[in-house]
């Protein structure tokens, strides 16, 4: 990392020039061919491979993330996406014939052409700084777009490592990186894009949506959290405990799609807490504090926000509770709460706080989940087949996993995205290509069809009416 230039914000005066460069290059049609797109994808692949040690170190510095976790959820994740995209790109780019057309219309060969949307802006978030920035970029390159990436300033080491990769391996006329925070992002939003792809919190999502609306720019919003897990009394307490802890403690809980709160039928609550203690003892034999696999909170501001949340709860801490401002450590902390209005349930913790609310019935759990957030990013249902089906059919969410934490989000070819307040649009797998592609409907009317088409021209005589 020392060999890389330090994190420095891009001058806001440079931003219109950067925008012009990628826009002009898009209009030169350079990015349209499959050969160009594959060359860029493969260059990114090898650039990431070369920079792997720097990327792993960057995530350790920014988030205390272990190399294992960084490879699994960031570097390896993006490499895998590139391989998938490269392998399937020709198929994705192929025209699609219109379905179910009659004989006359078939002569016009109605079909969909896959066109790149244009010059796009991608704004990343800090928690998975590489995956959430380069994942969408892979989709943009595959679709034939040019792009500017603005990584999160809150993961500055990952941002500078990605800058190194992008500047060294991609065509600079098509792909640029802008570093910075609000002033730089605001300057970027003042430019006219063909699409904006934003990952982060809903307040900023609203700013982006308003700004994009001024120029009718399409957006994909990948927003947050407040995801419920619902556990029926018939669930396997051991499996629920292990799987939900896995999902919550990755990246020290800074995961948009992990469960924010657990609603549990009260009969199974004691077993669940017992199993959580056992699982934590197994995952962190010397305690989370002494386990280098366990990450840290990204910065003091976020650590303080979490600490304030913990201090404000009326609930009872049943596991954990240790914190250390100096090292930004926050212990996995399970809190039994009894009021659905508790701040731990109403707000997104985005950290290793695990509030559990006991309920009398599955119906109460579903009602509470829906009242806390009608359209969360994810939902996790534990119970019998009939119970989990009931939970799915009486709730909404961007995605869901049954009898697991956020496993659905780790399937590389399954579209990922929110619904309603948790976002709009999706990506990953083919959805990443589609996200940056315009489906252009085209027909070609043969000259020889003019006699057949005479029926469409006025005057609309009775004779023509009879032929309809």
Catalytic residues: 222, 256
How distant, in Å, are the alpha carbons of 219, 223, 428 from that of 204? 13, 9, 22
Distance in Å, CB of 327 to ligand NAD, minimum: 21
How distant, in Å, are the alpha carbons of 237, 266, 275, 342 from that of 316? 20, 16, 18, 12
Distance in Å, CB of 196 to ligand NAD, minimum: 10
Q: How far is the C-alpha of 172 from the C-alpha of 170, rounded, in Å?
A: 6
Q: Residue 206: CB partners within 8 Å, gap ≥ 6?
A: none
Q: Pick between residue 318 and residue 419 the one whose CB is nearest to ligand NAD.
A: 419
Site residues (vs ligand NAD, CB under 6 A): 123-127, 132, 150, 152-154, 181-182, 185-186, 199-201, 204, 207, 222-225, 256, 348, 350, 377, 418, 423
Name beta bridge partners: 423. Answer: 222
Q: How far is the C-alpha of 242 from the C-alpha of 260, rounded, in Å?
A: 16
Q: Pick between residue 8 and residue 461 the one whose CB is nearest to ligand NAD.
A: 8
Q: Pick between residue 116 and residue 225 the one whose CB is nearest to ligand NAD.
A: 225
Centroid of chain to Cα 151? 14
Distance in Å, CB of 186 to ligand NAD, minimum: 6
Q: Pick between residue 74 and residue 348 the one whose CB is nearest to ligand NAD.
A: 348
Q: Pick between residue 181 and residue 442 the one whose CB is nearest to ligand NAD.
A: 181
Distance in Å, CB of 335 to ligand NAD, minimum: 19
Q: Pick between residue 193 and residue 336 the one whose CB is nearest to ligand NAD.
A: 193
Distance in Å, CB of 257 to ligand NAD, minimum: 7
CB 417 within 8 A of CB 425: yes
Q: Pick between residue 208 and residue 241 the one whose CB is nearest to ligand NAD.
A: 208
Q: Pick between residue 336 and residue 348 the one whose CB is nearest to ligand NAD.
A: 348
Q: How far is the C-alpha of 50 from the C-alpha of 324, rounded, in Å?
A: 35
Distance in Å, CB of 222 to ligand NAD, minimum: 3
Distance in Å, CB of 465 to ligand NAD, minimum: 54
Distance in Å, CB of 324 to ligand NAD, minimum: 22
Q: Pick between residue 174 and residue 302 the one whose CB is nearest to ligand NAD.
A: 302
Q: Which residue is nearest to ligand NAD, using beta carbons?
A: 224
Distance in Å, CB of 376 to ligand NAD, minimum: 10
How distant, in Å, are the alpha carbons of 458, 460, 467 from that of 463? 12, 8, 7
């Amino acid at each position: 990392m020392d060999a890389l230039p330090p994190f420095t914000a891009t001058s806001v005066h440079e931003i219109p020039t950067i925008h012009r460069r990628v826009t002009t290059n898009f209009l030169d049609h350079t990015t349209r061919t499959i050969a160009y797109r594959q060359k860029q994808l493969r260059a990114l692949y090898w650039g990431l491979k070369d920079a792997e040690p720097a990327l792993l170190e960057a995530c350790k510095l920014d988030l205390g993330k272990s190399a294992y976790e960084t490879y699994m959820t960031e570097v390896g994740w993006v490499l895998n996406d590139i391989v998938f995209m490269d392998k399937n790109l020709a198929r994705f780019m192929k025209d699609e014939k219109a379905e179910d057309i009659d004989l006359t219309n078939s002569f016009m060969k109605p079909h969909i052409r896959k066109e790149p949307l244009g010059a796009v802006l991608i704004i990343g978030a800090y928690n998975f700084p590489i995956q959430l920035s380069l994942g969408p970029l892979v989709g943009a390159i595959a679709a034939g777009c040019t792009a500017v990436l603005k990584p999160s300033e809150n993961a500055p080491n990952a941002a500078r490592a990605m800058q190194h990769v992008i500047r060294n391996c991609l065509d600079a006329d098509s792909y640029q990186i802008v570093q910075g925070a609000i002033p730089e992002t605001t300057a970027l939003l003042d430019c006219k894009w063909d699409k904006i792809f934003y990952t982060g919190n809903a307040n900023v999502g609203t700013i982006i949506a308003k700004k994009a609306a001024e120029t009718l720019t399409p957006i994909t919003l990948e927003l947050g959290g407040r995801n419920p897990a619902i556990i029926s009394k018939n669930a396997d307490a051991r499996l629920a405990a292990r799987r939900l802890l896995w999902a919550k403690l990755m990246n020290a809980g800074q995961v948009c799609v992990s469960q924010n709160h657990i609603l549990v039928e009260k009969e199974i609550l004691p077993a669940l807490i017992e199993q959580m203690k056992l699982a934590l003892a197994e995952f962190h034999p010397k305690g989370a504090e002494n386990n280098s696999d366990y990450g840290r909170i990204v910065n003091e501001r976020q650590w303080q926000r979490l600490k304030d949340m913990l201090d404000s709860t009326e609930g009872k801490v049943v596991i954990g509770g240790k914190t250390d401002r100096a090292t930004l450590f926050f212990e996995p902390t399970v809190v039994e709460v009894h009021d659905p209005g508790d701040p731990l349930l109403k707000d997104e913790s985005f950290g290793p706080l695990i509030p559990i609310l006991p309920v009398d019935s599955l119906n109460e759990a579903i009602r509470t989940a829906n009242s806390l957030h009608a359209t969360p990013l994810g939902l996790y249902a534990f119970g019998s087949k009939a119970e989990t089906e009931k939970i799915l059919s009486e709730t909404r969410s961007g995605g869901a996993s049954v009898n697991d934490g956020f496993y659905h989000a780790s399937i590389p070819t399954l579209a990922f995205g929110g619904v309603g307040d948790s976002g709009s649009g999706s990506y990953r797998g083919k959805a990443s290509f589609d996200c940056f592609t315009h489906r252009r409907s085209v027909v070609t009317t043969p000259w020889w069809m003019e006699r057949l088409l005479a029926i469409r021209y006025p005057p609309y005589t009775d004779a023509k009416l009879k032929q309809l």
